[in-house]
A and B are shown apart, each in its own frame.
Chain A
Amino acid sequence: MKDFIIPSYSRDDDRDMGTPAREGAPVALTIDGFEVTVPEGTSVMRAAAELGIQVPKLCATDSVEAFGSCRLCAVEIDGRRGTPASCTTPVAPGMIVHTQSEKVRKIRKGVMELYISDHPLDCLTCSANGDCELQDMAGAVGLRDVRYKAPENVPLANHFAPRNTSGEANPEWLPKDDSNPYFTYDPAKCIVCSRCVRACEEVQGTFALTIEGRGFDSRVSFGAKTDNALASDCVSCGACVQACPTATLQENSVIDLGTPERAVITTCAYCGVGCSFKAELNGDQLVRMVPYKHGKANRGHSCVKGRFAYGYATHKDRILNPMIRDSIEDPWQEVSWEEALTFAANRMRGLQDTYGQKSIGVITSSRCTNEETFLVQKLTRAVFGNNNTDTCARVCHSPTGYGLGQTFGTSAGTQDFDSVEHTDVVIVIGANPTDGHPVFASRLKKRLRSGAKLIVIDPRRIDLVKSAHIAAAHHLPLRPGTNVAVVSALAHVIVTEGLMDEEFIRTRCDWDEFQTYAEFISDPRHSPEATALLTGVDAQELRGAARAFATGGNGAIYYGLGVTEHSQGSTTVMGIANLAMLTGNIGRKGVGVNPLRGQNNVQGSCDMGSFPHELPGYRHVKSPEVRDLFKEAWGVEIDPEPGLRIPNMLDAAVAGTFKGLYCQGEDILQSDPDTKHVAAGLAAMECVIVHDLFLNETANYAHVFLPGSTFLEKDGTFTNAERRINRVRKVMAPKNGYADWEVTQMLANAMGAGWNYTHPAQIMDEIAATTPSFAGVDYALLEEKGSIQWPCNENHPDGTPLMHVDGFVRGKGRFIVTEYIATDERSGPRFPLLLTTGRILSQYNVGAQTRRTDNVVWHEMDLLEIHPHDAENRGLKDGDYVKLASRSGETSLRAKITDRVSPGVVYTTFHHPDTQANVITTDYSDWATNCPEYKVTAVQVSPSNGPTDWQEEYAAQAAQARRILPAAE
């Protein structure tokens, strides 16, 4: 017998059901004579909606809990007194509900009449015209007139008229707040339903909004009275705008462009959360992005980037015509596609003739689709005839690939994002989800508010450590570079205090290897007391964290680049896997090891064989069986030797053996460490092909520029951090003429490939045919299911939300000894501080997209966070220009004095090329994967008057390199 019911919806049905879905035992009731069965705890309003009966409502919406304030949804229930609100009344067995009795119709009309008495009747010119629930409800209840009038010759008793007929100002009227660049708050239109306030609390978890005043004085307010939207705690996620039933909180794009008439479901092209959106348009004019309720990663929520920061797609800086030049000293020359492709193909082939088959390579894009990435790596393997392919995962999560591959047998997160709703204790290590993965952070915060415990391991006091209504039970502010020591100390406590899950270890893991590991980790040198001096973490606090994780119920670990981007990045990943296995936290909901992926398709680009040693599906090129499979599919021999990784390409370029690069949707000059070395590598190449939306920093050293298309302009798929393959759908024609997969195909064909794909679905078919974990994936299934988590094959036809349920992919889980080996990047007399780098909410990666949107109002420049003690020693004040220097280079930026960083640690972001934080970072890297050590650089900070010589030279070179000659007549 079924013990619970999960309602199912067709993909296009995103009606507002009024209140959130519930899971529970079935309850049968009758509404307006129709029988319906819904899960226990469901509201009467939602049960009616399941039948297709919409009870009129204003304050209810299914993204937030019922509130029961508008009384419009009153119903009658047999045997109950009065007219209960259907939104706050849970169903009961045998209940008989009437939604349309004479009595409730009268009540609703009266309620609407009161609402409308304090609402302007300017519907025709209102920005919500046609998309206003107040308007809809007035219609639904049959409101025909409003009897209430303001008395004459007294102050106006309304909130919407600025002045009375005598020209006197109405003290109740407030002007619009248009401080936020993306939405406007118009108090005149507000009905005080509190949906915005509740969305900010329940969905986003920021608590920026409140209702101030009582009764007639009630107002929606952004925090304190003096705050406006921009100055408040608001993170501009837009949940309030989405929840608002009227024009009170409205997207500026809708105010400007009008209400959209069509919608296409697609996937966000920012971070690895991979939110589903409805792109709402008029023709090919994008009006707004609305997070899609049935998107399984985001469940109807979004952040400021996904919802609002799409303006870069139409920014004037976009390059729409191909360009070439003989030398990087020359200005760019606009040419036809054919000329550009022929030029590129001849150069690349010429380089191979002169310098050998392995003298050229590619960098695939983690911002492009799976299909595009697959083609780019195919270009190098099948057309160039070598394995010189790499991707930005090299510089972010390559240690995840290696570490989880070694311990569990596959390189991927073990859970879906829904899993967080079942977790009891969470470790967040080396990640800052409220900035880097905001929608996941909102889901995590929601779980924390309902009681889950949080342990934060991070050098900085990130927002999760303490913010509105959440606080970490333990914050371990470790010294940068000591992750392995801290993770091992946690394991030491768990093992020596006997807190491990022995049964899990015996049945699921290799017991002999565990014995070796247990002996290793039990050694007193791994105890928190022994490592405290090294890590800077209080031993008792660490013991408390270890006990909480081991004994607190379902334990989940979420981690980011603060784990991977170290000399021992891979070792830390293994240590995290050890922790999960020790505590039996693998293979069910609410647990697991969850790498928070950086870019939208970084998981996919790894899956698609972007790494130089692996063919699609993480299969090493040394395997003859795998090579034969691709030989069969592509008709060419596959090189059995691993190719060059990005840092190796640059080294080989400087050494003179690597001469040509096709770089798609990636800006290595800004994003990769040790900028001077990257520039030297690029400058040493004879053909750099940049395929991008903009003349990015890398293009300063390019010979061919191929214009790219945005995610709005093409079909394909992205795979997010939970292995979820989501469709990207073309909502407008590519402004540059071609989708990126078409451009790669044209380049391949110019080099003699003879490809003839006409739609990305055909590329996905080729992926499925060659890659076992994708064997069951095709576009028809994606249409049907909305999204699929790989592996999807004969054994898992519907995909795999949870990995390693009955056994690890490699069989037995493997404990690996994780000895701490200190990085050689240490502070000393010359460079006494440690720099660590990261991201900020409003900007994304190198900022090429977000810097070309209004998001710059939140972060117009990179700042250096420095502790007050370190600032005082150096005579620095907040906002001062400071010089930041390491053994690699120096730059200058403004200081922000804050105790979020510990003394001895400084922090900055890398979003702005005029700062170029990566001129500071060094060439140290992870021992296993060459993932750069971005997170630890010994630096000195000193007062400065302005840009360094290097910054000025860089800016001059960039300006010189970006000159474009008009197209020849």
Chain B
Amino acid sequence: MSPEKMVYMANQIAGFFKTQPGADAAERVADHIRDFWEPRMREQLLSHVAGGGAGLDEAVIGAAGQL
């Protein structure tokens, strides 16, 4: 998928978990992505992060470290 779409979807997930109580948004984003994103999508996310992670929410970048 286009990087913009992937970034958008990941940020939407972060958008929800950042509103939840607790300081573990990145971990919960990681759990969600692990549960619902097919490996190809996760690889695309990881390589995007490796390439600087342009446009990604910090919770997603934090989550990528745990994937």
Rank and list the top 4 A-B pairs by shortest CB-CB distance, nearest first.
Answer: A651-B1, A819-B19, A927-B12, A644-B38
Q: Contact at A641–B16, with CB atoms within 8 Å?
A: no
Q: Contact at B9–A925, with CB atoms within 8 Å?
A: yes
Bound Cα distance from A930 to B13, whole angstroms: 10
Q: Contact at B5–A651, with CB atoms within 8 Å?
A: yes
Given A358-B40, A655-B1, 20 further pairs, Cβ under 8 A = A358-B39, A567-B12, A570-B16, A571-B16, A613-B36, A620-B35, A622-B35, A641-B38, A642-B35, A642-B38, A644-B38, A648-B38, A651-B1, A652-B40, A654-B1, A821-B16, A821-B19, A928-B16, A928-B32, A929-B36
- B-side contacts of A927, CB under 8 Å: 9, 12-13, 15-16
Interface size class of A (residues with CB under 8 A): 20 to 34
Bound Cα distance from A612 to B40, whole angstroms: 14
Q: Does A643 contact B (CB under 8 A)?
A: yes
Q: Does B21 contact A (CB under 8 A)?
A: yes
Bound Cα distance from A806 to B21, whole angstroms: 28
Q: Does A657 contact B (CB under 8 A)?
A: yes
Q: Contact at A928–B19, with CB atoms within 8 Å?
A: no
- Please tell me which one of the listed residues B1, B19, B38 contacts residue A817 in the complex, with CB atoms under 8 A apart: B19
- A-side contacts of B5, CB under 8 Å: 651, 923
CB within 8 Å of A: which residues of B? Answer: 1-2, 5, 9, 12-13, 15-16, 19-21, 32, 34-41
Q: Does A516 contact B (CB under 8 A)?
A: yes
In the complex, chain A residues 637-665 whose Cβ is within 8 Å of any chain B Cβ: 641-645, 648, 651-652, 654-655, 657
Bound Cα distance from A644 to B9, whole angstroms: 14
Bound Cα distance from A613 to B32, whole angstroms: 11
In the complex, chain A residues 574-624 whose Cβ is within 8 Å of any chain B Cβ: 612-613, 620, 622
Cβ-closest chain B residue relative to A650: B1
Bound Cα distance from A642 to B41, whole angstroms: 11
Instruction: Say yes or no: A657-B36 contact (C-beta < 8 A), given A925-B9, A927-B13.
Output: no
How far apart are A5's CB and chain B's nearest CB, in angstroms?
A: 50
Q: Contact at B19–A641, with CB atoms within 8 Å?
A: no
How far apart are A660's CB and chain B's nearest CB, in angstroms?
A: 15
Cβ-closest chain A residue relative to B37: A642
How far apart are A504's CB and chain B's nearest CB, in angstroms?
A: 22
- A-side contacts of B39, CB under 8 Å: 358, 641
Bound Cα distance from A571 to B35, whole angstroms: 18
Cβ-closest chain A residue relative to B18: A819
Cβ-closest chain A residue relative to B22: A516
CB within 8 Å of B: which residues of A? Answer: 358, 388, 516, 520, 567, 570-571, 612-613, 620, 622, 641-645, 648, 651-652, 654-655, 657, 816-817, 819, 821, 923, 925, 927-930
How far apart are A870's CB and chain B's nearest CB, in angstroms?
A: 30
- B-side contacts of A655, CB under 8 Å: 1
9 contacts between A and B (CB under 8 A): A520-B21, A622-B35, A644-B40, A645-B38, A652-B1, A652-B38, A817-B21, A819-B19, A928-B32
- A-side contacts of B21, CB under 8 Å: 516, 520, 817
- A-side contacts of B32, CB under 8 Å: 928
Bound Cα distance from A172 to B34, whole angstroms: 76
Q: Contact at B40–A928, with CB atoms within 8 Å?
A: no
Cβ-closest chain B residue relative to A820: B19
Q: Contact at A648–B12, with CB atoms within 8 Å?
A: no
- B-side contacts of A651, CB under 8 Å: 1-2, 5
- A-side contacts of B34, CB under 8 Å: 622
Instruction: Say yes or no: A817-B20 contact (C-beta < 8 A), given A648-B1, A655-B1.
Output: yes
How far apart are A922's CB and chain B's nearest CB, in angstroms?
A: 11
Bound Cα distance from A219 to B19, whole angstroms: 64
Bound Cα distance from A80 to B53, whole angstroms: 90
Bound Cα distance from A571 to B15, whole angstroms: 11
Bound Cα distance from A516 to B20, whole angstroms: 10
- A-side contacts of B13, CB under 8 Å: 927-928
How far apart are B9's CB and chain A's nearest CB, in angstroms?
A: 7
Bound Cα distance from A654 to B44, whole angstroms: 14
Bound Cα distance from A654 to B6, whole angstroms: 14
Q: Contact at B16–A930, with CB atoms within 8 Å?
A: no
Bound Cα distance from A745 to B32, whole angstroms: 34
- B-side contacts of A520, CB under 8 Å: 21
Q: Contact at A612–B38, with CB atoms within 8 Å?
A: yes
Bound Cα distance from A516 to B21, whole angstroms: 8
How far apart are A488's CB and chain B's nearest CB, in angstroms?
A: 11
- A-side contacts of B20, CB under 8 Å: 816-817
How far apart are A637's CB and chain B's nearest CB, in angstroms?
A: 16
How far apart are A399's CB and chain B's nearest CB, in angstroms?
A: 12
Q: Contact at A613–B19, with CB atoms within 8 Å?
A: no
How far apart are B40's CB and chain A's nearest CB, in angstroms?
A: 6
Bound Cα distance from A821 to B11, whole angstroms: 12
Q: Contact at A642–B36, with CB atoms within 8 Å?
A: yes
- B-side contacts of A567, CB under 8 Å: 12
Bound Cα distance from A386 to B32, whole angstroms: 20
- B-side contacts of A929, CB under 8 Å: 36
- B-side contacts of A643, CB under 8 Å: 38
- B-side contacts of A923, CB under 8 Å: 5
Cβ-closest chain A residue relative to B19: A819
Most buried by A among B20, B38, B39, B40: B38
- A-side contacts of B9, CB under 8 Å: 925, 927, 930
Bound Cα distance from A236 to B36, whole angstroms: 44
Cβ-closest chain B residue relative to A356: B40
Instruction: Say yes or no: A648-B41 contact (C-beta < 8 A), given A817-B19, A817-B21.
Output: yes
How far apart are B24's CB and chain A's nearest CB, in angstroms?
A: 14
- B-side contacts of A516, CB under 8 Å: 21
- B-side contacts of A652, CB under 8 Å: 1, 38, 40
How far apart are B12's CB and chain A's nearest CB, in angstroms?
A: 4
Cβ-closest chain B residue relative to A816: B20
- Please tell me which one of the listed residues A358, A388, A645, A821 contacts residue B15 in the complex, with CB atoms under 8 A apart: A821
- B-side contacts of A657, CB under 8 Å: 40
Bound Cα distance from A326 to B30, whole angstroms: 42
Cβ-closest chain A residue relative to B20: A817
Bound Cα distance from A471 to B60, whole angstroms: 47
Bound Cα distance from A929 to B37, whole angstroms: 10
- B-side contacts of A645, CB under 8 Å: 36, 38
How far apart are B66's CB and chain A's nearest CB, in angstroms?
A: 15
Cβ-closest chain A residue relative to B15: A821
Q: Contact at B15–A928, with CB atoms within 8 Å?
A: no
- A-side contacts of B38, CB under 8 Å: 358, 388, 612, 641-645, 648, 652
Cβ-closest chain B residue relative to A570: B16
Bound Cα distance from A642 to B38, whole angstroms: 5
- B-side contacts of A930, CB under 8 Å: 9
- A-side contacts of B19, CB under 8 Å: 817, 819, 821
Bound Cα distance from A642 to B16, whole angstroms: 21
Bound Cα distance from A927 to B12, whole angstroms: 5
Bound Cα distance from A374 to B58, whole angstroms: 40
- B-side contacts of A817, CB under 8 Å: 19-21
How far apart are B44's CB and chain A's nearest CB, in angstroms?
A: 9
Bound Cα distance from A923 to B12, whole angstroms: 13
How far apart are B8's CB and chain A's nearest CB, in angstroms?
A: 8
Bound Cα distance from A622 to B13, whole angstroms: 20
- B-side contacts of A613, CB under 8 Å: 35-36
How far apart are A578's CB and chain B's nearest CB, in angstroms?
A: 13
Bound Cα distance from A388 to B2, whole angstroms: 20
Bound Cα distance from A157 to B16, whole angstroms: 76
Bound Cα distance from A571 to B20, whole angstroms: 12
Cβ-closest chain B residue relative to A516: B21
Bound Cα distance from A388 to B38, whole angstroms: 9
How far apart are B59's CB and chain A's nearest CB, in angstroms?
A: 13
